[in-house]
Amino acid sequence: MPPVALLPALLLILLLASAWSPARLGRAAMELHARLPGIHEVEKPRPKPKPGDQVDATISLLQLRDAPYRRGQPLAQWILDLEGKYVAIEGYMALGTLEGLSEFEFVPEECECGGSKVNHLVMVSLTDSTTRFRAGRFYMRGIFSAGELEEDDFVTSVYRLRSRAMPD
Amino acid sequence: MSATYRTLYLLASFAAASAVFAVSPVGVESTTRASTAVRQTAQTAQTAQDKPAIDLSKLELYLDKAQHGSAVIRPQAAARLVPMGGPAAERLFELCGADPAAMAEMGASLVEVLGAFDDPRLRERLWQGIADPDFPWRPAAARSLAQNLLQRAPTSDAGSDQLAAAQADEARRFRALLEDPIAPVRVAAVQALEKRFPEPDMGLRAAARARLADTSDFVRRAAAVALVGWGEPEALLWLVEDLRRSDTFFERWSGKNAAYESRRALQALLGDTFGYDPEVPPSDATNVAALAQLDAAVRARIGERAVPVLPNVARASGPEPDAVLGLELISCRRGEHYIAWTSDDQLLVGIGNPARVELPEGTTARLLGFAKEQVAQLDRPYFGLPGCDVEMLRIVSEPGARAQSWVVSKNQARIEGLRPEALGAVLRELIASLPEGLGASDPRLANLRDAAREAMIAIGGR
């Protein structure tokens, strides 16, 4: 076979070798990693909680805070089991939450005093209303989801709750 | 994982180079060049792996995020500076400035990672911060030093004697911090000494035992863990006692929080907590059974050693249903105070099992009436910015109702006019009513009025 006939195959091999660089492979691995449930959360449309819904589970933020968490590692099974469930969570609105926002940090202590660990809070998003500051402990009800959500390679939330509104 | 990918990449490149040789008429010289090219690629990759170049733009990005990012991003960004090593340490040293006031501007997240660089200059800056009572990040500085004990001599030409002398000097400083007015600083000091001295002398043991009567349950817990590690299993009793707590300070989960912390410590020390669940009361049948098993396990560990009597401050208690007025002062510079007034005129000081003082009849009713009048003038319950300085006024308006709260908070910087006048009037009245000359029986009562006033001024001014 004349050498020139092998040129397309050769070009293909070279193309594959350059395309499969470590950086590209790394990115591909990250994308795959992002699809694993309970490790990286790919936000998807979730059902909206309705008035009168019965909760599937009631938990406190101290329980979530106490659960082991390491970046990139699977979460505890009992937390993964709450995925998509209608859950009541007891905690505090983070100090300094502004009025009129569509989301807020729900924390296990009134004073986080100096910084928050990302696995110590639930990011609550409100679908039908906005925030008003509320002191003291209270329950939030909504659809729970768990998994690392990232922005610029920083984890911004591990636990989330989609709620209609804050309780009266 | 990355090594696998690198191997795959090299194999693919090698296959490509071989293919070039196989089909090329150029000959041996080209083969040698191709092989050399592959070798050089591998060597370059290896060198890059050994000494990764620091991306200065990333360094600046992380510094920015660690200071100005959201509360959850700041500690993550600060932690990413540590693997950057020398260049990051240099920039942080620049940011530290000449005095603690400049270092305060860095924020707590950056201060908390300074010790991880094992750079004597940064360590000295941390100690300077701790020595300044007005430095707002003393807990972060103490944790940074405690979690990263000194490993490197102060100068590059120093010998092992000088390293030992520097370590002894740090140990002496940590010993002094066992008496610090800020509880998280005392916790860090206990943990540093536990790590530094696997076999402590009698003096250090005695100092740690004294901390078992600390006014903070976090300090008592750290001391108990250290003492168990030093062969004093009777300190486990302090941890088990926390599992019997169900106290609250108005809306604060003080007892449950302590139970979670101590359950985690017991799990690590005993390997089992027998199904104890902090989410249900200690009187629940599951927890009663778990506590019985824990008691037996601890008694077996103690064996023939003397069983100590727990001090009042460490004993479990329940909620205080008669508390109707409360004041929490949490100052990052002047410590924490938890004070409550009951409807039957008792003053309660502290969290958990509080110190109790009988007040003149009618004191609570008078203070409560005044507080209600004043807060009626407020249009909202929260004033300020999130941060480490917090004041909370609690009022239970009717028997059995939940407490209403009014909150003032701020970060390290002073804010003029932070506290509304009506709230200021309540705080001044409450603090002025605190009895003087207390404290002989309980350290929580010592200089209570002055200490509370100092904390109030440090947070929201006079």
- pLDDT single digits (tens) B214-253: 999 999 999 999 999 999 999 999 999 999 999 999 988 9
**What length does chain B have?**
462
- Give contacts of B382 with chain A, Cβ < 8 Å: 95-96, 133, 135
Q: How far is A44 from chain B (nearest CA, A)?
A: 23
* Count of alpha carbons within 13 angstroms of residue B243, beta-carbon side: 26
| CA atoms of B144 and B360, how far apart (whole Å) | 46
Helix (H) or strand (E) holding B342: strand B335-342
Final residue in a domain of this structure, among B133, B167, B187:
B133
Instruction: Tell me which chain B residue has its CA closest to the CA of residue A110.
Output: B252
The answer to the question of residue B286 being in a domain is no
Which of A20, A60, A95, A117 should one mutate to test binding to chain B, selecting the residue with the greatest count of B CBs within 10 A? A95
The type of residue at B415 is I
The answer to the question of residue B243 being in a domain is no
Q: Do A60 and B74 touch (CB under 8 A)?
A: no
| A1 touching chain B per CB within 8 A | no
**Predicted confidence band at A64 (pLDDT cuts at 50, 70, 90)?**
very high
The answer to the question of residue B170 being in a domain is no
Final residue in a domain of this structure, among B99, B133, B167:
B133
- Give contacts of A116 with chain B, Cβ < 8 Å: 71-72
ipTM of the predicted assembly exceeds 0.85: no
Q: Do A135 and B404 touch (CB under 8 A)?
A: yes
Q: Do B386 and A13 touch (CB under 8 A)?
A: no
Q: Do B405 and A136 touch (CB under 8 A)?
A: yes
| CA atoms of B120 and B150, how far apart (whole Å) | 8
Instruction: Tell me the residue ranges of DSSP E strands in chain A.
Output: 57-60, 86-93, 103-107, 122-126, 137-151, 154-163
A33 has pLDDT over 90: no
Q: Count CB pairs under 8 A between chains A and B.
A: 137
| CA atoms of B71 and B122, how far apart (whole Å) | 24
- Looking at the structure of chain B, the number of domains it has is 2
Q: Do B20 and A10 touch (CB under 8 A)?
A: yes
The answer to the question of residue B209 being in a domain is no
CB-closest option in B12, B70, B385 to A17: B12
CB-closest option in A29, A62, A110 to B256: A62
| CA atoms of B143 and B125, how far apart (whole Å) | 14
Q: How far is B107 from chain A (nearest CA, A)?
A: 9
Find the DSSP H helices in B234-388.
236-242, 254-270, 285-302, 363-375
| A24 touching chain B per CB within 8 A | no
CB-closest option in A17, A92, A113 to B13: A17
Q: Do B390 and A155 touch (CB under 8 A)?
A: no
| CA atoms of A27 and A13, how far apart (whole Å) | 21
Which SS3 state, helix, strand or coil, does residue A160 take?
A: strand
Which of B1, B2, B4, B5 should one mutate to test binding to chain A, selecting the residue with the greatest count of A CBs within 10 A? B5
> Taking the model in full, what pTM does it have?
0.82
Q: Do B251 and A16 touch (CB under 8 A)?
A: no
* Residue B62, CA distances (Å) to B59, B121, B348 in order: 5, 21, 45
Q: Do A20 and B388 touch (CB under 8 A)?
A: no
The answer to the question of residue B391 being in a domain is yes
Q: How far is A81 from chain B (nearest CA, A)?
A: 19
**What length does chain A have?**
168
| A5 touching chain B per CB within 8 A | no
| CA atoms of B398 and B403, how far apart (whole Å) | 9
Instruction: Tell me which chain B residue has its CA closest to the CA of residue A27.
Output: B2
- Residue-number span of the structural domain to which B38 is assigned: 1-133
Which of B216, B249, B382, B409 should one mutate to test binding to chain A, selecting the residue with the greatest count of A CBs within 10 A? B382
Q: Do A115 and B8 touch (CB under 8 A)?
A: no
Distance of CA B182 to the CA centre of its chain: 11
Decide if B137 contacts B104 (C-beta within 8 A): yes
| A155 touching chain B per CB within 8 A | yes
Question: Which of these, A42, A15, A33, A28, lies nearest to A150 by C-alpha position?
Answer: A42
A152 has pLDDT over 80: yes
pLDDT in tens, B147-190: 999 887 767 676 778 888 889 999 999 999 999 999 999 999 99
Q: Do A137 and B251 touch (CB under 8 A)?
A: yes
Which SS3 state, helix, strand or coil, does residue A113 take?
A: coil
Q: How far is A60 from chain B (nearest CA, A)?
A: 8
| A68 touching chain B per CB within 8 A | no
- Give contacts of A63 with chain B, Cβ < 8 Å: 279
Contacts of B261 (CB under 8 A, 6+ apart): B217, B218, B221, B242
| CA atoms of A119 and B381, how far apart (whole Å) | 27
What do you get for the CA distance between the two ends of chain A, in Å? 82
Q: Do B253 and A62 touch (CB under 8 A)?
A: yes
Final residue in a domain of this structure, among B133, B162, B197:
B133
* Count of alpha carbons within 13 angstroms of residue B160, beta-carbon side: 0
The answer to the question of residue B54 being in a domain is yes
| CA atoms of A141 and A90, how far apart (whole Å) | 9
Question: Which of these, B198, B227, B196, B199, lies nearest to B214 by C-alpha position?
Answer: B227
Q: What is the CATH number of domain A44-163?
A: 2.40.50
CB-closest option in B75, B386, B404 to A95: B386
Q: Do B5 and A25 touch (CB under 8 A)?
A: yes
The type of residue at B441 is S
**CATH 2.40.50 domain position(s) in chain A:** 44-163
Which SS3 state, helix, strand or coil, does residue B356 take?
A: strand
What do you get for the CA distance between the two ends of chain B, in Å? 59
Burial B122-147 (b: 16+ CB within 10 A, else e): bbebbebbbebeebbbbbbbbbbbbe
Q: What is the pLDDT along chain B (462 residues), one digit of tens a residue?
A: 344 444 444 444 444 444 433 333 333 333 333 333 333 333 444 444 555 577 888 999 999 999 999 889 999 999 999 999 999 999 999 999 999 999 999 999 999 999 999 899 999 999 999 999 999 999 999 999 999 998 877 676 767 788 888 899 999 999 999 999 999 999 999 999 999 999 999 999 999 999 999 999 999 999 999 999 999 999 999 999 999 999 999 988 999 999 999 999 999 999 999 999 999 999 999 999 999 999 999 999 999 999 999 999 999 998 888 999 999 999 988 889 999 999 999 999 999 999 999 999 999 999 999 999 999 999 988 898 888 899 999 999 988 888 999 999 988 888 888 999 999 999 999 999 999 887 677 889 988 999 999 999 999 888
- Give contacts of B385 with chain A, Cβ < 8 Å: 96
| A63 touching chain B per CB within 8 A | yes
Q: Are strands B323-331 and B382-384 parallel, antiparallel or unpaired?
A: unpaired
Which pLDDT belongs to residue A98? 82
Average pLDDT over residues A30-50: 44
- CATH number of the domain bearing residue B453: 3.30.1560
